[in-house]
Structure 1
Amino acid sequence: MSRLAACEACRKAKLACDHKLPVCTRCSTNQGICIYRTTPFKRKREKQSLGSPDESSSFNPRRNPYPNPGYLGSSSHAAIFKHITSDGDHGGHQAAPETLHSDLFGDNHLVLQGADILKHLLTKYELSAMKDLVVFWLAKGANLALAEPFVNQCTRSVSQLFTYHDENWHLVYARRLLHNSAQPLHFNDSSDLDGFSAQFLDHNSRWETLGIFFAAVSRATIDIPFFPSLYATEQQQYTLRRLCTKLCDFALEISLSLDCLNDLQLIMQYENFIVHSYVDGDQSYHSWRKLGDAISSTFALGYHENIEAKLGIPTFLKELRKTAFARIYSADKNIAIFLGRPPRMNKRFCHFQIPACRNAQGSEWTHDAEAGYRADTRWSALCASLKEEIWELLQDKHDPSCTQRASVIQSQAEAQWQALPSHFRLESSLKQCTQGPFERDFVAGVRLHHLHVLFLLHLLRLRSPTEPDLPIIETAGQMLTLVVEIILLRDQLTNSGTGLIWKVAYYGLPAAGMMLLAMLKQNMPRAHRTRSLQDLSVFVAEVQIGTIVRAGDPNYALLSKATRTIQRFLDTTRSDALVEPVGQEDEWAALLSQDLWDFEAGFWQSLADHPSLLAIEPSLPPV
Structure 2
Amino acid sequence: MASRLAACEACRKAKVACDHKRPACTRCASNDRAGICIYRTTPFKRKKVESSTPSLQRSPSRLPTAQASPSFTPRNNPYPNPGFLGSSSHVAIFNQISPQDYHISDPYHASESDMAMSRYTGEHILLIQGADILRQLLNTFPLDAMKDFVNFWLATGANLALAEPFTEKCTENMTRLFSSISQEENWHLAYAQRLTQNSREPLQFSSDSDIDSFAAQFLDQKFRWESLGIFLSAVSRATIDISFFPSLFKTEQDQFVLRKLSTRLSDVALDIALSLDCLNDLQLILQYENFIVHTHVDGDQSYHSWSRLGDVMSSIFALGYHENVEKTKPPIPGFLAELRKMAWAITYSADKNIAIFLGRPPRMSKRFCHFQVPMSPTDSGQDSNTLDARYVAIEWDSDTPICYRSGMRWATLCSALKEDILELLREKQRDNFNHEVSIIRQKAESQWAHLPPQFRLSGTLRECSGNAFERDILASIRLDQLHVLFLLQLSLLDTLTEPDPSILDISDQMLALVVEMILLRDQLVNSGTGLVWKIAHFGLPAAGIILLSMLKQHQRLTDARSSWSKTILNLGIFVAQVQVGSIVRRGDPNYALIFKATQTMERFLDSVHRDGIQTPTQVPQPGEGSDDWAAFFSQDMCDFETDFWENLAYHPSLLASDASLPAI
- Matches of 1:306 and 1:552, distance apart in 2: 44
Q: Which residue number in structure 1 is paired with residue 96 of structure 2?
A: 83
Following TM superposition, by how much is the alpha carbon of 1:367 offset from its aligned partner in structure 2, in angstroms? 0.9
Q: Which residue number in structure 2 is paired with residue 219 of structure 1?
A: 237
Kept after mapping to 2: 8 A contact 1:96/1:182: no
Q: Note the alpha carbon deviations across 1:55-75, whole angstroms, 9 max, x for none.
A: 336125678412110010111
- Give the partner amino acid of 2:403: G
Q: Note the alpha carbon deviations across 1:432-485, whole angstroms, 9 max, x for none.
A: 111111111111000000000000000001122111111100000000000000
Residue of structure 1 aligned with 2:534, choices 503, 506, 512: 503
Following TM superposition, by how much is the alpha carbon of 1:28 offset from its aligned partner in structure 2, in angstroms? 7.9
- Matches of 2:289 and 2:5, distance apart in 1: 45
Residue of structure 1 aligned with 2:605, choices 551, 559, 570: 570
Kept after mapping to 2: 8 A contact 1:96/1:260: no
Deviates more, 1:167-176 or 1:80-89: 80-89
Q: Note the alpha carbon deviations across 1:140-185, whole angstroms, 9 max, x for none.
A: 1110000000000100112221224322111111111111111111
Structure 2, unaligned stretches of length 5 or more? 44-59, 386-394
Following TM superposition, by how much is the alpha carbon of 1:589 offset from its aligned partner in structure 2, in angstroms? 2.0
TM-score (ref. length: structure 2): 0.87
Q: Which residue number in structure 2 is paired with residue 43 of structure 1?
A: none
Deviates more, 1:525-534 or 1:319-328: 525-534
- Give the partner amino acid of 1:393: L
- Give the partner amino acid of 1:580: V
Deviates more, 1:74-83 or 1:281-290: 74-83
Residues 146/49 of structure 1: CA separation in 2 closer, same or farther (3 Å cut): closer
Deviates more, 1:439-448 or 1:154-163: 154-163
Kept after mapping to 1: 8 A contact 2:226/2:270: yes
- Matches of 2:36 and 2:115, distance apart in 1: 17
1:460 aligns with 2:460: no
- Matches of 1:10 and 1:496, distance apart in 2: 50
Within 5 Å, which residues of 2 pair with 1:119-158?
A: 119-158=135-174
Q: Which residue number in structure 2 is paired with residue 490 of structure 1?
A: 521
Residues 105/402 of structure 1: CA separation in 2 closer, same or farther (3 Å cut): farther
Kept after mapping to 1: 8 A contact 2:24/2:34: no
- Give the partner amino acid of 2:23: P
TM-score (ref. length: structure 1): 0.93
Q: What secondary structure sits across from 2:499 in the alignment?
A: coil
Within 5 Å, which residues of 2 pair with 1:164-563?
A: 164-165=181-182, 166-311=184-329, 312-359=331-378, 361-363=383-385, 364-522=395-553, 523-524=557-558, 525-527=560-562, 529-563=564-598
Kept after mapping to 1: 8 A contact 2:11/2:17: no
Name the % identity. 56
- Matches of 2:108 and 2:62, distance apart in 1: 31
Following TM superposition, by how much is the alpha carbon of 1:386 offset from its aligned partner in structure 2, in angstroms? 0.2
Kept after mapping to 2: 8 A contact 1:476/1:511: yes
Residues 146/302 of structure 1: CA separation in 2 closer, same or farther (3 Å cut): same
Residues 150/32 of structure 1: CA separation in 2 closer, same or farther (3 Å cut): farther
Following TM superposition, by how much is the alpha carbon of 1:530 offset from its aligned partner in structure 2, in angstroms? 1.6
Give the RMSD, CA atoms, in angstroms. 2.9
Residues 321/540 of structure 1: CA separation in 2 closer, same or farther (3 Å cut): same
- Matches of 1:555 and 1:545, distance apart in 2: 16
Kept after mapping to 1: 8 A contact 2:162/2:343: yes
Following TM superposition, by how much is the alpha carbon of 1:261 offset from its aligned partner in structure 2, in angstroms? 0.8
Kept after mapping to 2: 8 A contact 1:63/1:105: no
Residues 134/404 of structure 1: CA separation in 2 closer, same or farther (3 Å cut): same
- Matches of 1:97 and 1:415, distance apart in 2: 55
Deviates more, 1:607-616 or 1:471-480: 607-616
Q: What secondary structure sits across from 1:186 in the alignment?
A: coil
Q: What secondary structure sits across from 1:295 in the alignment?
A: helix
Kept after mapping to 2: 8 A contact 1:593/1:606: no
Residue of structure 1 aligned with 2:642, choices 598, 601, 604: 601
Q: Which residue number in structure 1 is paired with residue 388 of structure 2?
A: none
1:36 aligns with 2:38: yes
- Matches of 2:289 and 2:198, distance apart in 1: 21
1:19 aligns with 2:20: yes
Kept after mapping to 1: 8 A contact 2:25/2:37: no
Kept after mapping to 2: 8 A contact 1:193/1:316: yes
Following TM superposition, by how much is the alpha carbon of 1:238 offset from its aligned partner in structure 2, in angstroms? 1.2
Following TM superposition, by how much is the alpha carbon of 1:336 offset from its aligned partner in structure 2, in angstroms? 0.3
Residues 287/191 of structure 1: CA separation in 2 closer, same or farther (3 Å cut): same
- Matches of 2:489 and 2:628, distance apart in 1: 24
Kept after mapping to 2: 8 A contact 1:27/1:203: no
Residues 201/16 of structure 1: CA separation in 2 closer, same or farther (3 Å cut): farther
Following TM superposition, by how much is the alpha carbon of 1:591 offset from its aligned partner in structure 2, in angstroms? 2.9
- Matches of 1:57 and 1:131, distance apart in 2: 27
Residue of structure 2 aligned with 1:116, choices 132, 135, 148: 132
Q: What secondary structure sits across from 1:504 in the alignment?
A: helix
Q: Which residue number in structure 1 is paired with residue 392 of structure 2?
A: none
Kept after mapping to 1: 8 A contact 2:437/2:488: yes
Following TM superposition, by how much is the alpha carbon of 1:50 offset from its aligned partner in structure 2, in angstroms? 2.7
Residues 16/230 of structure 1: CA separation in 2 closer, same or farther (3 Å cut): farther
Q: Note the alpha carbon deviations across 1:59-109, whole angstroms, 9 max, x for none.
A: 2567841211001011111111112234556699xx997999999678212
